[in-house]
Chain A
């Protein structure tokens, strides 16, 4: 075959046979050799690597509305107060002590000797400047709800400030201990939110050493973190958070050791990953409640829901306990009222509950004039498997529900446009452990209220603006009681959260879904 003459469509020539193969082989060889071992995460280089699917639009805590933003904020910034995630007790963080002067005024004694990451000392100016700046609507903080209740903050002396709220606002301590971060006054005045995003400076247990918008953020242990902080002293040296939008890629990263921690993993996938030798699955409770809204406003697409018996039939038709066990999973818990059980003012005591009873459900439907059931659309945006199971239960009693699965914004548009009848909803209250952050969103005549009961609205309003806790809780309880008795919504459960981490790390989940790097350590 030395003679390598070419004949079209002929038995091959050795050379002609080899060349393309040689090229392919070269390509494959290139693929194999080009690769030096990728960097693997882990305790060897004291770097915890975490992947998250969404990038924050800004690192300045007042200019983003995403969960990872809240996580970064809690690790990089401090707040005046601190809420113990286990006991829910308030402790002083940047404030040494505090007192309620009157219904609208609080005074804070500040801690001395605390320094921001850039060396700027913390004092009353930091509190006064930060809070007055972000509370001013002109400055366009995107987390308006977190700051809109602040009227003004005044300096009394270098380590004492007075905060006035616009109305009596019992939820104040909740915000001051979770989302209202304190910035260094001088630096913030100089660079503003834009500069704070480019080079974030806080006083928290971790400082930002590198930030590439949309790509990654690197935190390093603040070795000068003040010793009296109720947050623990950070143990892990470095934390790198990368924004990886694709869930499968995130999973591949933890499997291959490229990342140490991923969160909000779907249950089945978390279980699979947890079975791997180098990984562990950690389950935790969350504050996120799951419930169904029933639109009974004028013009609702499903007027059947206006009948209380139909609404009760829907609640009786769903076997919540069985769903909790089989679909929702560990860490979830049943709820009987539309609020997170840990929230101040949220009670289930003495509230009407509805058992799983499909026979009763059918009876109620027949009484309401629907012996053969009816057709209805159910709108949902997440936890699709749960919605599908609910649909099965509803169909079993004759309610032929059809799934309309949408993006969150589109779903909320539909609800607000009075175009949704039955909605599978969830709400996490943005860390705020107070009922004012949950029930009123759906029952106080806001845009998401599809029941509009003035009595409920007034009771919730009373609760929102009463400082004395006995009277406050009583008002909320009465509102929750009416919601339950009239079956305005279907309370379902709280969602569990699934985390997957490398086995090398000590990690404890908290119900606020906040990843506390300062609380973590290597095994």
Chain B
């Protein structure tokens, strides 16, 4: 198990590194970074100065190697846009994104568990189809569009929630819903499938034969078993939610990692962009690893195999 974990960890780092190389190259494809950094009104003198200052006149491979060498020494570079240390800058935004990710995950579970259970109980019926429709809608609606609908309802019509910003916990409600709704269908389908399978199992039939109340059968016997794979999925989805919050954070002007990623792409802030990509890919891979371990722990059959 230890050997397996270490091997997975090594592989994970390799993946992160590959992603960072890709990100590094892709950013350079979208135009001259010095020009983008200088801004629209910049004249040639400004651009030349920037090119020289940030070493953008060197070959790409040299720039990448230089960056990697510094990372390995614990020097994460300075944001070329905000002119502050990239490491602390990213850490300061991580909290907002984590709050948003956890909130979204909580919301996703909050709606997907009851809907999944309901759909399983009424498999094939009208209620099942309604639940399925809710799920399909969640994945079909682009989340920026859903985010705007939420703003229209809660901020413009009802005026109960602030449109944007991250000052109070109220600011997180709409973003968490918008983000959570997108991942909820995956949970819902998993729970529905699991529940259908479990509900047909012998021990449930036994429980029913014993005359146990339905509430106890569903929540104590069936759901507990059906939820096992959800734990693993939740870990992976959290990784997605952290990386996938770019659009939502931008729309709600939440000052998190997603918004910072958006800014760093817009302003060609290479050190920050590369660090975010690296951090997110490492985080994602770690969460997948955690999910694997959790799975093995929850389900002895996986451990044996």
Contact = CB atoms under 8 A, between A and B. Distances in A.
Interface of A: 4-9, 12-13, 15-16, 19-21, 23-24, 27, 31-32, 34-39, 55, 57-58, 63-67, 137, 140-145, 148, 193-194, 197, 212-215, 242-246, 248-249, 252-253, 255-256, 258, 407-413, 416, 428, 430, 441, 446-447
Nearest to A259: B163
Given A20-B117, A409-B31, A5 B46 contact: no
Contact of B53 (A16, A38, A140, A148): A140
Interface string B96-117: 0000000000010011011101
A246 B83 contact: no
Given A38-B155, A145-B43, A253-B163, 18 more contacts: A6-B208, A34-B169, A35-B160, A55-B263, A144-B43, A145-B42, A213-B84, A214-B260, A215-B255, A243-B253, A244-B253, A248-B148, A249-B253, A252-B163, A409-B31, A409-B35, A413-B35, A446-B43
Contacts of B122: 9, 12
A243 B206 CA distance: 61
B32 A63 contact: no
Nearest to B252: A249
Contacts of A411: 31
Contacts of B46: 65, 142-145
Interface stretch (B15-23, B58-66, B212-220, B297-305): B212-220
A272 to B, nearest CB: 13
Nearest to B155: A256
A238 to B, nearest CB: 16
A253 B215 contact: no
Given A6-B214, A35-B173, A144 B163 contact: no
A410 B125 CA distance: 54
Nearest to B50: A142
Q: Which of B123, B164, B215 has the largest count of A CB atoms less than 10 A from its CB?
A: B164
A109 to B, nearest CB: 30
Contacts of B276: none
A349 B179 CA distance: 58
Contacts of B143: none
Contacts of A55: 263
Contacts of B151: 248-249, 252
Given A4-B215, A16-B214, A413-B31, A447 B114 contact: no
B163 A256 contact: yes
Interface in B138-189: 148, 151-152, 154-156, 159-166, 169-170, 173, 177
11 contacts: A9-B124, A23-B113, A32-B160, A38-B170, A63-B83, A65-B46, A144-B46, A212-B255, A256-B156, A407-B31, A410-B31
Interface in B252-289: 252-253, 255, 259-260, 262-263, 267-268
B74 interface: no
Interface in B72-130: 81-84, 107, 110-111, 113-115, 117-118, 121-125
Contacts of B166: 215
Contacts of A214: 82, 255, 259-260, 263
B267 A57 contact: yes
A460 to B, nearest CB: 14
A428 B111 contact: no
Contacts of B268: 409
B49 interface: yes
Nearest to A8: B199
B208 A142 contact: no
Interface of B: 30-33, 35-36, 38-46, 49-50, 53, 81-84, 107, 110-111, 113-115, 117-118, 121-125, 148, 151-152, 154-156, 159-166, 169-170, 173, 177, 199-200, 208, 211, 213-215, 217-218, 250-253, 255, 259-260, 262-263, 267-268
B200 to A, nearest CB: 7
Contact of A9 (B40, B123, B160, B161): B123
Among A35, A63, A140, chain B packs the most CB atoms within 10 A around the CB of: A35
Contact of A253 (B44, B118, B124, B164): B164
A4 to B, nearest CB: 5
Given A9-B123, A38-B162, A252-B151, A144 B45 contact: yes
B123 A8 contact: yes
B45 A145 contact: yes
A65 B32 contact: no
Contact of B159 (A6, A38, A212, A428): A38
Nearest to B269: A57
A256 to B, nearest CB: 5
Contacts of A141: 49
Contact of A65 (B41, B208, B215): B41
Contacts of B124: 9
A413 B32 contact: yes
B217 to A, nearest CB: 5
B123 A246 contact: no
A242 B82 CA distance: 16
Nearest to B110: A27
Contacts of A193: 83
A442 to B, nearest CB: 11
Nearest to B36: A409
9 nearest A-B pairs in the assembled complex, by CB-CB distance: A20-B114, A409-B31, A65-B39, A38-B162, A6-B214, A35-B160, A409-B36, A410-B31, A144-B45
A252 B83 contact: no
Contacts of B121: 6, 8-9, 12, 16
Contacts of B253: 242-246, 249
B214 to A, nearest CB: 4
Contacts of A58: 82-83
A446 B164 contact: no
B215 A19 contact: yes
A38 B154 CA distance: 11
Contact of A446 (B44, B208, B255): B44
A63 B170 CA distance: 35
A23 B253 CA distance: 30
A148 B115 contact: no
A4 B162 contact: no
Contact of A258 (B31, B43, B163): B163
Contacts of A9: 121-125
A447 B152 contact: no
Q: Which of A16, A21, A140, A243 has the most CB of B within 10 A?
A: A16
B213 A4 contact: yes
Contact of B214 (A15, A412, A441): A15
A20 B267 CA distance: 46
A148 B45 contact: yes
B271 to A, nearest CB: 13
Nearest to A254: B163
B165 A242 contact: yes
A193 B173 CA distance: 38
